[in-house]
Structure 1
Amino acid sequence: MTSAFPVHPQPLPDELFSSWVYRVARANGQNVFSFCYLLIPEMRNTYYNLDYVVTEQILQKLSMPLRVTYFRSRETTLDSYSGKLFASSTPKANRKACILQTGSQKNNHRRYCLQYCPLCLAEGEPYYRKVWRVSFITVCSRHACQLYDRCPRCSSPIRPLLNDVGQPHKMPFLGAITQCFHCAFDLKNTVACIAKTDVVKDTILYERILREGFIKLEVGSNWIYSFSFFQVLRHLMRLVLREVVRDQEKDNIQDPDMLPHNLRYQCMSLLTGVFSNWPSQFMAFCINNKLIYSDFTNNTNKRPLIPYWLEKNIRQNLYSPNSPPSEQSVIAAIDYLIAHDKRLNASALNRLLGYEDSGVIKKVLKSYQRNKLFHLPYMRKPE
């Protein structure tokens, strides 16, 4: 289809692709799925993950009849973050680092992958921002309030496209873009919750880095690619989750991109100011939280395991290969592995304490085995 539609709304500032398509369809008297079926049939039955299936061909099909440039339409997609938020996406797995994940279709009702600010939705024409899909963005920098990732009335995920399909309770209308698909609550009426000032300040910084694609942490230092910076930020969220979640949940810490808003907001609260006065503030954070060098070398599965701009600053302070662990720390690590029903062997202890092959660990472990009657490599007591 090459002729223009009767109405062709242009993408609004930082608008998300699915939000834009929703407004275009409604403006032309269609629901989203009829619109997609007529114009881009390859997108039908993708309502749960619409923002992940956008391709160059789909954008070209939309651009001409909607009288919008290809570049402007691409700015609504999550792939426009490539090279800024993440180095590249993983098309086969539909994964994009630092983007809230939708998961599989059968489990999409369990994932809170879209956030919103009620004050933003109440201003002018309501629409959903692309930045609201970013996992470390937990507050609205414009209104200094927390974002929401679910309906405050029924706790359903934010799924505006489901207002255009069969309703679970046979609601006799097609809901507006700001209404909950499940209970019809207008999200604009959500009571705004004031965010912590430091979290808002950090969010403003992160949004600026995301726009520019670069960051310089100190005067005279080299520029850092934003996706490398956000890789470290995302890993820091994983590290502080150990303090956020309950002890019995520590073994099931998930990807930060799959966590609900309340946990991600707590993580960002613990990370406030961590990149200010670089690197002194970062070092103080690591010491206060008992982070060691190996905590950062495991932030990716490929080598080099740590970005050079980070490694050169923390190695001299956190890497101590010649300092053996104390016997008390080894015993505490053994007790921790036993208490959490984990395998007990020298490799597990070295990994937990941040060593490669410590003689002290081997010595204490042999003594512990002899006195406690544990069999290696498994930490099972004999019956």
Structure 2
Amino acid sequence: MRLSHANAQRLSYLTTHLTDNPNFWHSDPDRHLRAEIFPALTTATGLSEARLRELMLPQFVGTLFDRLHPQAATRWALPYAKRLYAGQRGGAVYCPRCLEEKSGPFLRLSWRLSFATVCPEHQLVLRESCPHCGAFFAPHLNDLGKGKDWSLEKRLPFGWCPQCECDLRGTGEPAGPEELAFQQRLTEALSTGRMAWDHLDHVPALEGFDVMHQVLSLLFLAGPWKAVQDVTGLPVPASPPARPNRTFEDFTFEDRRLLLAGLRFLVSDWPARFVAVCTTARLTRKPLVVNMPVIPAWYDEVADRFSRANGRRPYKRIPLAEHLDLDGIAARRAQATKPRERRRWEVLWHYHQQPEALPVARRLGMSWDFVARTVNRYNLYGPDWMNDANRARSFGRRRLLDEAQELELQTYIAASPGKPSNAELQDWCEARIGHRPDSSTLWMYRRGVAHTRLGRRARPSASEATDLFSPRDREDEET
């Protein structure tokens, strides 16, 4: 923008010349730039590629969000106002004092973050639109043309409204100390990778932002907001988005300030206030964790207080046998040669630290039943049985009746004056093999058919059933 102003060129012409892309502004350049664009920008601006990447949103991947899509909506990242969306949705915010700096105004990357509501330097509340006409802040739309000639007026386009050309610079509303302190807490988490949290050790920044965004989604519901409003006196958001799947970034700037005030209340004195509000609003576990791909253990422990298990009985806790200590389990996990073996030892390693099947299953993305079966078999058979679940399948395809006995049975059935009952056939089989077949087996023998070409198979005895994992278990593991 500075180059186009200094050379009295339209911004779209300059970006087309530098990037060979006439649709450069159709996407968000703060989110994504093609690799071949960086050399052209380096030549034009004198900034290195590393420095250019420091001025883009992907630097927050791993701390603010787990990934940043070039175009799709991303939590905590505001869109920038496009021409087609003018008047429909806001974008970046700005500080009126920052735009009148004598050394020359510049745009802050933090103005693209949805939790940014105050300017820490001037301690003023930010704005998202022109105070005169209400047009959203979009300096890239404040271009030459339409009777404008900035080369003569000697002014940068940052501090002027693209709609009514009014001056956006000046004074603003002072920010409160709580709002400043809360934003400072979030900003420090971006730089340090750790977030301060009441009554907890410093949690990873990505986990903290995950939980905060989830708590904000609870405030979209009438029950939790009413419970917060009764204590804090906050007004109801004036212009909630009409979309049913709305996110925090869809709200207007003033409504985001209200929601962040509610968030400050909920995460203070953690988890006492949060639990009290959820209890008053009669929330269950589902809205607390819905759409969270990864649930931090410390938040999952709080959410489990509201679990009703869909009317089921609570899951039974299984104590872990002391076959190996934590270091021994970790050593076995490192020595595992097959993915399935490593997964079982991974289950035991997590279960040793937190002996509850449900949190371990959620953390590893497995079913509760698989975790419980793995622990039960480890307790019963010891560590050596965790290496290979498919060994020692010795019972094979043993026949219930041999060929001579099957022929004798068919002769007996044919010679009987009437159809023999199941009880009579069971007595006949028990006298010869010591086993009373079930009705399905007898049905097959009456009709002269067999389960396989080798005949109907017998059930394995307790001494023969040496396989630890049933076919169903192996299917679960393959899945």
Q: TM-score, normalised by structure 2?
A: 0.55
Percent of aligned pairs sharing the same letter: 23
Matched with 2:157 is 176
Matched with 1:62 is 41
The structure with more radius of gyration: 2
Instruction: Tell whether 2:109 aligns with 1:117.
Output: no
Inter-CA distance 141–104: structure 2 relative to 1 (3 Å threshold): closer
C-alpha offsets along residues 182-227 of structure 1, whole Å, 9 cap, x if unaligned?
A: 11111113x4112332222111101111222222535773x53323
CA contact 1:238–1:256 (8 Å) conserved in 2: yes
Task: Output the CA distance in 1 between the equivalents of 2:255 and 2:245.
Answer: 11
1:238-277 to structure 2, matched below 5 A, reads 238-242=217-221, 243=225, 244-245=236-237, 252=244, 254-277=246-269
Instruction: Tell whether 2:141 aligns with 1:153.
Output: no
Matched with 2:179 is 199
Offset at 1:261?
0.2
SS at match of 1:115: coil
SS at match of 1:215: strand
CA contact 1:102–1:108 (8 Å) conserved in 2: no
CA contact 1:48–1:105 (8 Å) conserved in 2: no
Matched with 1:141 is 120
CA contact 2:30–2:55 (8 Å) conserved in 1: no
Task: Output the CA distance in 2 between the equivalents of 1:283 and 1:250.
Answer: 29
Instruction: Tell whether 2:297 aligns with 1:308.
Output: yes
Task: Output the CA distance in 2 between the equivalents of 1:120 and 1:270.
Answer: 28
Inter-CA distance 62–120: structure 2 relative to 1 (3 Å threshold): same
Matched with 2:342 is none
Q: Report the residue type matching 2:193 in the other structure.
A: G
Task: Output the CA distance in 1 between the equivalents of 2:177 and 2:246.
Answer: 27
Task: Output the CA distance in 1 between the equivalents of 2:164 and 2:240.
Answer: 34
CA contact 1:240–1:267 (8 Å) conserved in 2: yes
Task: Output the CA distance in 1 between the equivalents of 2:301 and 2:124.
Answer: 36
SS at match of 1:83: coil
Matched with 2:275 is 283
Task: Output the CA distance in 2 between the equivalents of 1:28 and 1:103.
Answer: 25
Inter-CA distance 30–322: structure 2 relative to 1 (3 Å threshold): closer
CA contact 1:139–1:146 (8 Å) conserved in 2: yes
Q: Report the residue type matching 2:88 in the other structure.
A: R
Q: TM-score, normalised by structure 1?
A: 0.67
SS at match of 2:197: coil
Q: Answer 1 or 2: higher relative contact order, Cα 8 Å, separation at least 6.
A: 1
- Residue 75 of structure 2, aligned match among 97, 103, 106: 97
Matched with 1:37 is 16
Inter-CA distance 128–287: structure 2 relative to 1 (3 Å threshold): farther
Which is worse superposed, 48-57 or 135-144? Answer: 48-57
Across the two proteins, how many residue pairs are aligned to each other? 294
Inter-CA distance 138–294: structure 2 relative to 1 (3 Å threshold): same
Instruction: Tell whether 2:307 aligns with 1:319.
Output: yes
Q: Report the residue type matching 1:182 in the other structure.
A: Q
1:342-361 to structure 2, matched below 5 A, reads none
Which is worse superposed, 45-54 or 64-73? Answer: 45-54
CA contact 1:274–1:282 (8 Å) conserved in 2: yes
CA contact 2:284–2:307 (8 Å) conserved in 1: yes
Matched with 1:213 is 193
C-alpha offsets along residues 212-254 of structure 1, whole Å, 9 cap, x if unaligned?
A: 2222535773x53323321222222222133334799787462
C-alpha offsets along residues 78-97 of structure 1, whole Å, 9 cap, x if unaligned?
A: 22221221111123x43332
- Residue 234 of structure 1, aligned match among 213, 221, 224: 213
- The answer for unaligned runs of 5 or more in structure 1 is 1-21, 325-383
Matched with 1:367 is none
